[in-house]
Amino acid sequence: MQRKPPTKSDAGGRYDRTARVVAGWVGNTDFSDATGNPRVLRLQDGDPHGRASFAELARRFSGDLPFRAVLDELTQVGVVEQLEDGSVRLKR
């Protein structure tokens, strides 16, 4: 079975989803602090204080894109960086 090449609408849909992830990171208190700054997130497991992970962020806001695909896309365009400890930081 042959896969069809991605179209411009496929790319646009992916962009919209990753934009929703960034908006959720900044605008949702599960992923930002009391002053509205985006938290550094663990990749998959929430932190010891019960805060949500990047994987949870992607699940909530990207639709059916796997969190790794969201991470790859956001890293590629320079919006996020993965830190040495494996956590993910939204760049400003």
Indicate if the pLDDT at residue 34 is higher than 80: yes
Which residues are registered as beta bridge partners of 32?
A: 38
- The CATH class of the 9-90 domain is mainly alpha
Q: What is the pTM of this model?
A: 0.79
Amino acid at 62: S
Q: Report the distance separating Cα 74 and Cα 54, nearest Å.
A: 12
Band of the pLDDT at 15, cuts 50, 70, 90?
Answer: low
pLDDT attached to residue 24: 94
Q: Two tokens at 51?
A: 């805060």
Kindly list the domain boundaries of the chain, sorted by start residue.
9-90
Q: Report the distance separating Cα 73 and Cα 81, nearest Å.
A: 11
Q: Report the distance separating Cα 14 and Cα 29, nearest Å.
A: 24
